[in-house]
Structure formats: structure tokens, C-alpha cells
Chain A
Amino acid sequence: MTPPDIPEVIKMVPLHYYLFLSTALFVIGIVGVLTRRNAIVIFMSVELMLNAVNLLLIAFSSYRSDPNAQVFVFFVMAVAAAEVAVGLAIIVMIYRNTRNTDIGFLKKLKW
């Protein structure tokens, strides 16, 4: 038996399940960003939100048979990777300079 198409597999789960799952993931990300003070955890939460969006984009793309969304997902992943590289570098630099990654501590720009 040939393995089914990936879109077919995706369609085996009803659409609103994806919706609920990605909403849940997104909210977890938001809450993480809002409540945590460690820059790295916030960073991970941001990634979580991005992936929630990616998941939703894939789901819709499959259900509507429209590949455009998948192109977007690739873009998001590429940008996220670049962002991780730059962002982590900044955080590492901050850590080296201050021995700290608490965002409450970083308020030099406050006037």
C-alpha cells in the first residue's frame, strides 16, 4: 500500500483540532513571554508562537490545497533560524557582560 499523501494524513484530523492546538500553543507562548523574566525562556516562547503559526498555516494549506502558505512557512523557519542566531548571540554577549539574562535588569534605555 502506498503511503498516503501528507495532506491526506493531515486531513485525517479535523481542522478545528489544529485550530485549538495552535491557539493553545500560541497562548502558552504569550504567557511564557509575559511571565518569564529570563531572556532565553522568552526566546523559546517566541519560537513556540512562531511554530504555532506554522502549524496553522500548514493545516490550512492542506485543507485548501493551496501551496502558498507552505512557502510562507519556509520563510518563517528561515527567518526564525536567523533570528535565533542573532538573538542568541546578543543574549550571550549580554550574559558575558552582565552575568545575567534577566530582562528586568536590562533597562539602561529607560529615560
Chain B
Amino acid sequence: MPVSLLLLIPLLPFVGFLINGLGFKRIPNSLAGILAVLAALGSFGLSLYTFSLFQAAGSQTVVVPVFDWISVGTLNIPFSFQIDQLSLLMLLIITGVGSLIHIYSVGYMSHDAGFGKFLAYLNLFLFFMLLLVLGSNYVMMFIGWEGVGLCSYLLIGFWNKNTSYNDAARKAFIMNRVGDLGFLLGIFAIIAAFGSVEFSEIFSKAQAFSVGDPVIVTITLLLFVGAMGKSAQIPLYTWLPDAMAGPTPVSALIHAATMVTAGIYMVIRSNILYSLAPATLEAVAIIGAATALLGASIGLLQNDIKKVLAYSTVSQLGYMFIALGVAAYSSSMFHVITHAFFKALLFLGAGSVIHAMSNEQDIRSMGGLRKHLPVTFLTFFIGTWAIAGLPPFAGFFSKDEILAHAFVHNKLLWGLGLLGSVMTSFYMFRLLFLTFFGEFRGTKEQAHHLHESPSSMTIPLIVLAILSAVGGFIGVPEALHGSNWLSAFMDPLFDGARKVNPEMFGPLGLSHSTEYMLMGISVAAALLAAIAAYVVYVQRQSRPAPESVERKGIEKLVYNKYYVDELYNAVFVRPVMVLSDIFWSFGEFVIDLFVEGYGAAVAFLSGRFRKLQTGFTGYYIFAMVLGIVLILFWNLVVRHHSLLKDLL
């Protein structure tokens, strides 16, 4: 595989970033838009071409070194790319969905003063995200990892006059940094254990370890902390809902489709290490399930269209971690793919709504939009159907695959997953009905401006809607007479893991009838939830209470997001601030006391001794004579008293 070709994949968006970034305000908007979209599309084309080359070459993993980046002592960290099934899938998602969102952004941001800057940032994001998935070692992954964090920071705070947006951006960056520290320590532990950071070397050396080795458990736990930060899992998830402050395409690209799935990518990448550490996997599953439920439950009561989707993302990411936790790596990847389609679609649809509503995001002021925004409505509906896990759209296949694996692993886990999917279906249909059905509840002004979005925005919507509809067919289970192409495609990735821990990779062990039953249950549950939402919000026309109404009990708790932000504030932020004050006002004072103390002591003594220097000459002469007499006395009388005796 030619180096230059691979190099071009991330380099194209980077060049786009440089041109649009350096030429911002000098390059006309139309040209900037074309450049940015071309860069993304170019990468996509190259990714497709690479994919075909990879298939043609017999699906062999290829590592392409570019140059030696850091080498110290025995540690060598090359700047090199790795092409295999996993990175190719991620490449295609990132560049494919990324291109669509670039196109969408050209329409969405066309009236914004920072148009060129925005596209430059998006291109930069693509560059880092591609580095993340293309890197052939953990440090390369870390470059992308932090780089996308930076882009996320810049894009969340894109409208930087608004302080609360800036605060959200800062929160995202810092919370991600907490995870990054875990990742970094994980890398150090890997260096200590394997003496290398290259995937191929680590994974072949890892086969010598036994299952449950504490070193591996430590490494995987530390890496998982990194994944928690980036993929918004408990306890590091609170930044993601706040991140909705960014322009909507950003939420779609970064905070739904690509960046937040980096954690899943990392775990799948390290699948051999995780398979060696069942304890970690257990933790991953528990945290995933807890996050899935927590996110979904908060989503039930949110009234901001983007916040609902944000909590939904948190919850869906939880599902992916459940899949990882039961070692169903390819199912998790399946959900990453389908989620990228339908969540990007939903966010872009939300963007279209917000665009039409003159930047209104509260669903209590919407309603009845399906007449005014037919394309948006239809695509949003498909997205909702898909995320709710209803057949035959994409979400159904991926979610059911996860639930089936969870069922085999642990019935409770399956139950929790099912509960989550019921809630998902309810809040998504609630969102759909409140937004698009019933009477319009906004101001006259807004009603006047209602319009369908331009085609640069609707075309990506349509493409994504098609993908959400048919995307599931890459992984149709055998029970439904499918071949599950995805799982077969990804299979070679898990060869190593299968060798070290064969128990984890046995056949699913579910009869087809059980599978049918599981599907039936989850589809029925999701349908019931959808119907419930229909009854509540369309038939009975009930509306969420306005902000001013005091909520009670559990409702209040959930509505206020379980007060987690307040808790973190009290437990982490406040103490650090107080500590900072104490160190600054008191600590520095005490330390300085020692330093200044020496000076003060010298000054004090000199103040005393200077009294001896009266300035009177007679005084000095007297002191001198006295001194001479004393010395003589000492020498003659005390020391040499015999001499004195002789003299006398």
C-alpha cells in the first residue's frame, strides 16, 4: 500500500485547515466551503480506494512507517499508520459521515461571520480523528485523542462571546483531560510491561500473559479511564450535554458520530488486552449499563431538543460499552456504525429545526413542524424509528445483537439494557411528537419564518436517512438468514484474543427460537413505549411543564440531572479553589517566612550591633587600648604566668 496515498487521507483535511485557517476572511465563503468539502470528500474517496486495495490484497494488516517520531533509550515511537479492518471501518465512518456534515455545515453556517474558521476547525478535527484511527501505536492514538479534544474545545466555544459556551468548552476539555491522564498512565504502564507502544508488538507479547494478570488488569483499567472521558461514561459524562453549546453540525460530527466513539475504538483495538482482563470487562459492562440507564432516564425529561439527543448519545454509548463488556467487540462496532448514521441524522435534523425556528431549541415552543419541514420531518422520523430499535432500520439489528450477547452473558444486564431501550423509544418519540405534531406553540415571529432548509442541508439528511434505514443490513444475524458480513469482516481482529482466552469467544449458544423471542420482546417493548408516547403527547396533548413550575420528588431529581454537576462542583471544583486560596495566601506566606526570616534575623542583629559604632574616635581608641591590655594580660599573665614570675 503506497505511503503517499495513506498519508494523503489525513493530510487533505489538514491542508484544507491550513488554507481556510490562514486565509480566513481573505478567502470568499463560497470558495472556503468548496475547499473544505473537497478535502473531506477527497479523504473519503481515498479511504474507499484504500478499502478496495485492502480487500484486493487479501485483508492483510499493513503497517506503514512514515518517520521516527520520538526515540529515547530503548523506546522508539514511530510516526506510522496501520491499516486493518478496524481502522478502515472507522476511516469510512469518519470521512463518510464527516463529508456529509461538511456539506450540511456549508448551508447551516452560511450566515455566520466565522464561516471559514468553522470549516477550518472541522477539517482540523477530521485530521486529528484520522490520525487517531490510523496510528499504529498508542502514542499516535493519543495524538489524535488530544487533538480531537482540542477541536472539540474550539468548536464548542465557537461562539466565543458567550461566556457560558466558553465554560462548556473548557469543561469538556478539562474533563477529557482527566480521562487523558488515565490513558497516558496506561501508556506508561504498557511501556513498563512491554517496552513498546506499537500495537503489533504489544499484542504479540501479550499472548504470553495469563488471563487475569494484574499488570494487564491495571493497564486496561487505566486505558478505560481514558475511554470514559472521551466516550462520556460515568463518571466523566457531564461534559457531553454541555457540549451542545457548539453549533449543531459539531454536535453531530464530534459529539455523536465520531469523536465520542473513540473510546470504543480504543477498547476494540486493545481487545486482546481486555480479553486477558475479565475483571476490567466486568467493570466496563457495569459502567456501560449504568450510563445507558442514567442517560436515558435524564433524556426522558429534557426539553431542549439538543439536550435530549445529547443524553441519548450518552445512553447509546453506554450500550456500546455493554457490548464491549461482554466481549462482543464486533457488535459494539456495529452499533458505532449505525449510531453514527442515525444520531448524525437526528442532530442534523435538529439543526434544521433550530435553523427554521430562528435558533429556538426548547421543544415546548415547537410543535406541528411536519407541515413546514416535510423533508426534515421524514428523515427525523426515520432516525427516531432507527434509534428506537424498531425493524427493519439500522438500530434494530445492532441493538438486538448487543442485547443477545448481554442475555448470554448475564440476564440482569439484558434486563437493564431492555429497560434502557424502552426509555430510549419513549423519549425519542416524545421528542418527535412534541416537535413535529400538534399545534405550533412558538411566537408569531417564528411562525412567520418557518421554512424548509436549503438543499445543502436536506441532501445530507436524505443520505443519512437512507443509511439509517439500510445500514443495519451489514450485520443481519443468522437467525434472520443473514450472513452478518460485519462480524465476519472483523473476525481476524480477534484472532489473538481468541487464542489467549478462548472461553470468551465461543459460539453465542442461543437457539434461533430464543433469538426470535428476544427480538420479539425488545421490539414489542419499544413499540409499546412509542405508543405510550403517542398517547401522552398526541392524543392527550400533554406538554412538559414550563421552567417556573416546581417539580417534586424523583421528577425533580431527574429533571436536575441527579445533581451530578452540583456534586462535582462541591467535591472537586470548590475544594481545589479553596486550596488554591489557602496556598496562595497562607502557604506562600509561611514558606516565605523562612526565607524572609533569615533576612529579618540579620537585619535585627545588625541593628543591635550597630549601636557599638558610636562614631566617637575616643571610644574606638579606648576600645583598642582595652583590647591591647586584655591581649597582653592574656598572653603574659594567663598563658605565660611563669614568664611573669621570672620577670619579677
Q: Judge A-B direct contact (beta carbons within 8 Å).
A: yes
The residues of A with any CB-CB pair to B shorter than 8 Å are 30, 33-35, 37, 103-104, 106-107, 109-111
Which residues between 468 and 526 of chain B lie within 8 Å of chain A, taking CB atoms? none
Q: Shortest Cβ distance from A90 into chain B, in angstroms? A: 13
For this complex, 24 residue pairs linking A to B, each with C-beta atoms less than 8 Å apart, are: A30-B625, A33-B621, A33-B625, A34-B618, A34-B621, A34-B622, A34-B625, A35-B618, A37-B618, A103-B616, A103-B617, A103-B618, A104-B616, A104-B617, A104-B618, A106-B617, A107-B614, A107-B615, A107-B616, A107-B617, A110-B613, A110-B614, A111-B610, A111-B613
Nearest B residue to A107, CB-CB: B615
- How far apart are the CA atoms of A35 and B619 in the complex, in Å? 10
**What separation, in Å, do the CA atoms of A82 and B614 have in the docked complex?**
29
Min Cβ gap B226→A in Å is 66
Starting from the known contacts A33-B625, A107-B615, A110-B614, 4 additional A-B residue pairs (CB-CB under 8 Å) come to A106-B617, A107-B616, A107-B617, A110-B613
How long is the Cα–Cα vector from A103 to B613 in the complex, in angstroms? 15
A37 CA / B619 CA spacing, docked (Å): 11
Report Cα–Cα, A33/B618, bound state, in Å.
8
Collect the chain B residues with CB atoms within 8 Å of residue A111's CB: 610, 613
- In the assembled complex, the CB of A39 is this many whole angstroms from the nearest CB of chain B, namely 9
Q: Collect the chain A residues with CB atoms within 8 Å of residue B622's CB.
A: 34
A34 to B629, CA, bound (A): 14
**When chains A and B are docked, how far (Å) is the Cα of A109 from the Cα of B619?**
14
Contacts of A35 in B (CB 8 A): 618
Measured in the bound complex, the distance between the Cα atoms of B626 and A33 in whole Å is: 13
B residues 572-623 in Cβ contact with A at 8 Å: 610, 613-618, 621-622
Q: How far is the CB of B502 from chain A (nearest CB, A)?
A: 90
Q: Are A109 and B625 interface neighbours, CB within 8 A?
A: no
The 10 closest A-B pairs by CB, nearest first: A110-B615, A107-B615, A103-B617, A33-B621, A34-B622, A30-B625, A34-B621, A111-B610, A104-B616, A111-B613
Known: A30-B625, A34-B625. A109 touches B618 (CB 8 A): no
CA of A35 to CA of B625 in the docked complex: distance in angstroms?
A: 12
A107 to B616, CA, bound (A): 6
B121: min CB distance to chain A, Å: 67
Measured CA separation A34–B624 after assembly (Å): 10
Q: Which residue of the partner chain A has the closest CB to B606?
A: A111
Bound-state Cα–Cα, A109 to B614, Å: 9
B620, closest chain A residue (CB): A103
What A residues does B610 contact at CB under 8 A? Answer: 111
Q: Which residues of A contact B625 (CB under 8 A)?
A: 30, 33-34
Tell me which residues across on chain B come within 8 A of A34, comparing CB atoms. 618, 621-622, 625
> Once the chains are docked, how many angstroms separate the CA of A23 from the CA of B614?
30
Complex-state Cα separation, A109 to B615, whole angstroms: 7
Question: Which of chain A's residues have a CB closer than 8 A to the CB of B616?
Answer: 103-104, 107
Contact residues in A for B618 (Cβ distance below 8 Å): 34-35, 37, 103-104
Tell me how far the C-beta of A106 lies from the nearest C-beta in chain B, rounded to whole angstroms: 7
Distance of B395 from chain A, by nearest CB (Å): 89
> Chain B residues near A109 (CB, 8 Å)?
615
Q: Within 8 Å CB of B617, what residues of A?
A: 103-104, 106-107
Cβ distance B565 to chain A, nearest Cβ, rounded Å: 64
Q: How far is the CA of A34 from the CA of B615 in the complex (A)?
A: 15
How long is the Cα–Cα vector from A35 to B621 in the complex, in angstroms?
Answer: 10
Q: Which residue of B lies closest to A110 (CB)?
A: B615
CA distance A42 to B627 in the complex (A): 19
A17 to B617, CA, bound (A): 33
Question: Please, what's the 1-or-0 string for B611-648, where 1 marks a CB less than 8 Å from any CB in chain A?
Answer: 00111111001100100000000000000000000000
Which chain B residue shows the least CB distance to A19?
Answer: B647
Nearest-neighbour CB distance to chain B for A42, whole angstroms, equals 8
Residues in B with CB closer than 8 Å to A37 are 618
Closest to A39 in B: B617
B625, closest chain A residue (CB) = A30
**In the complex the two chains form, what is the Cα distance from A61 to B622 in whole Å?**
31
Shortest beta-carbon distance from A48 to chain B in Å: 14
A77 to B613, CA, bound (A): 32
- Report B-chain residues with C-beta under 8 Å of the C-beta of A104: 616-618
Complex CA–CA separation, A110 to B615 (angstroms) = 5
Query: Which residues of the partner chain B approach A106 to less than 8 Å between Cβ atoms?
Result: 617
* Chain B: minimal CB distance from A23 (Å): 12
How far in angstroms is the closest Cβ of chain A from B627?
13
Q: Separation in Å of the A56 CB from the closest CB of chain B? A: 14
Q: What residues of chain A lie closer than 8 Å to B621, measured between beta carbons?
A: 33-34
Give bound CA distance, A11 to B8, whole Å. Answer: 117
Which residues of B from 390 to 406 have beta carbons under 8 Å from A?
Answer: none
For window 255-281 of chain B, which residues contact chain A by CB distance below 8 Å? none
Rounded to whole Å, the gap between the CB of B621 and the closest CB of chain A is 5
Most chain-A Cβ atoms within 10 A of its Cβ — which of B610, B613, B617, B625?
B617
* CB of B619, distance to nearest CB on chain A (Å): 10
Q: How far is the CA of A111 from the CA of B613 in the complex (A)?
A: 8
Measured between C-beta atoms, what is the minimum distance from A38 to chain B in Å? 11
Inter-chain CA distance A109–B613, complex, in Å, is 9
Shortest CB-to-CB span from A51 to chain B, Å, is 18
Hey, which chain B residues are within 8 Å of A110, CB to CB?
A: 613-615
Cα–Cα distance between A6 and B622 once the two chains are bound (Å) = 38
Q: How far is the CB of B636 from chain A (nearest CB, A)?
A: 14
**CA gap between A103 and B618 in the complex, in Å:** 8
Q: How far is the CA of A110 from the CA of B618 in the complex (A)?
A: 13
Question: Chain A's nearest CB lies how many Å from the CB of B256?
Answer: 77
Q: How far is the CB of B271 from chain A (nearest CB, A)?
A: 80
User: How far, in angstroms, from A104 to B618 measured CA to CA in the complex?
Assistant: 8
Closest A residue to B629 by CB, please name it.
Answer: A30
Bound: A110/B625 CA distance, A: 21
Chain A residue at minimal CB-CB distance from B614: A110
- List residues of chain B with CB within 8 A of the CB of A107: 614-617
> Which residues of the other chain, B, contact A30 by a CB distance below 8 angstroms?
625
Q: B613 contacts which chain A residues (CB < 8 A)?
A: 110-111
Question: What residues on A are CB-neighbors of B614 within 8 Å?
Answer: 107, 110
CB nearest neighbor in B for A45: B621
Query: How many angstroms between the C-alpha atoms of A93 and B621 in the bound complex?
Result: 22
Q: Which residue of the partner chain A has the closest CB to B628? A: A30
Q: Which B residue sits closest to A102, measured CB to CB?
A: B617
What is the CA–CA distance of A111 and B625 in the complex, to the nearest angstrom?
23
A106 to B614, CA, bound (A): 11
- In the complex, which residue of chain A has the Cβ closest to the Cβ of B617? A103
